[in-house]
Amino acid sequence: MILSMTGYGKTTVDLPGKKFNIEIKSLNSKGTDISVKLPLVFRDKEMEIRTLLSQQLQRGKIDFYMSSEDNSETPNFRINKELAKKYYAELKELTSELGEENTEMLLPVLLKLPDVFQADKPENEDEGWQAVRDGIVQTISLVTICRLNEGTILGNDILLRVGKILELLDSIEPLESNRLTDIRNRLKTGLQQLGRPDAPPIVPDENRFEQELIFYLERLDITEEKVRLKKHCDYFLNTLDDQESQGKKLGFITQEMGREINTIGSKANEAGIQKIVVQMKDELEKVKEQLGNIL
């Protein structure tokens, strides 16, 4: 199962006299980066919300936003009188120090200061929070569904690209047999041309030539690299089918795939195989790009 790190969910929770709008947006990120914005009435629940988001969504840049709206005929807020009195005393002292005697404008300024107006908490605060918490869980579920849908699209694209790498790997086989024959002929021709034009051609010792040729061709043999690349691709596809999304693990496997492809390219010494290696690298880079979005 593949989960994308990109998702979105929105839920509304209606309480007596109050409506809460909950939004969660998730984007890809190497780690877990959670931003939480809450109305004052539930500010003390921030750590609980962060823990819930971290446990359920695991990884990504997660933006949590909750806003509140009044849905009753009578306003459900009160003035924090103690705080307002303290503000007023400080403002009055400041105006006196500045030589200002007119205090008529202090009240409008006072009413705009932070936390002077406070929203009333629900009559049963625990029930109100439980309803909001259920709404948060529901929103997280919507984000997960969105992640799953996008993850399915990403997974299908990755499957096609890894399948293409395997097809390209199989296409090396016919070129490889001709490659060894061509290398053998080039070495023998080059050896024969080492002598002077007016001298008899050099006739190499066949036994020694075969020994050196075998040693040289062993260094150019790519059989082991092909076998390992095939195993890495199979392991990648099996991991892709795991019940849990394994973005980081898949990234490590692609690193091993890239090493084998690079080694095949460095040992190929044949234009046709080099072209195939370039195509495999291109497909692998596109796989890596997609993995950057996977949980």
CA distance 33 to 38: 17
Residues 113 and 135 in one domain: no
Q: Do 123 and 15 touch, CB atoms closer than 8 A?
A: no
pLDDT at 176: 78
Which one-letter amino acid corresponds to residue 40?
L
pLDDT at 155: 93
Residues 71 and 182 in one domain: no
Cβ atoms within 10 Å, residue 36 = 16
Residues 89 and 158 in one domain: no
CA distance 242 to 255: 19
Phi and psi (nearest 5°) for 287? -65, -45
Q: What is the pTM of this model?
A: 0.72
Query: SS3 of 185, please?
Result: helix
CA distances (Å), origin 253, targets 24, 49, 116: 31, 34, 57
Residue 179, classified by CB atoms within 10 Å of its CB into exposed (0-12), middle (13-18) or buried (19+), is buried
CA distance 52 to 216: 61
The pLDDT tens digits of the residues spanning 214-249 come to: 666 667 788 899 999 999 999 999 999 888 888 899
Closest CA to 9 of 142, 178, 104: 142
Q: Is residue 69 part of a domain?
A: yes
Q: Do 119 and 39 touch, CB atoms closer than 8 A?
A: yes
Query: SS3 of 1, please?
Result: coil
CATH number at residue 26: 3.30.230
pLDDT at 204: 66
pLDDT at 5: 93
Residues 258 and 219 in one domain: yes
Residues 158 and 258 in one domain: yes
pLDDT at 75: 56
Q: Is residue 1 part of a domain?
A: no
Q: How many domains does the chain have?
A: 3
Cβ atoms within 10 Å, residue 128 = 19
Which one-letter amino acid corresponds to residue 220?
L
CA distance 24 to 60: 12
Q: Is residue 100 part of a domain?
A: yes
Query: SS3 of 65, please?
Result: strand
Q: Is residue 160 part of a domain?
A: yes
C-alpha radius of gyration, the chain, whole number:
35
Q: Which helix (H) or strand (E) holds 23?
A: strand 18-27
Q: Do 143 and 6 touch, CB atoms closer than 8 A?
A: no
Residues 32 and 84 in one domain: no
The stretches in the chain having pLDDT less than 50 are none
CA distance 14 to 2: 34
Closest CA to 176 of 35, 59, 277: 277
Q: Is residue 84 part of a domain?
A: yes
Rounded percentage of the chain residues whose pLDDT exceeds 70: 82
DSSP per-residue string spanning 192-247: HTTS-TTSPPP---HHHHHHHHHHHHHHH--HHHHHHHHHHHHHHHHHHTSSS--H
State which residues form the domain around 196: 153-291
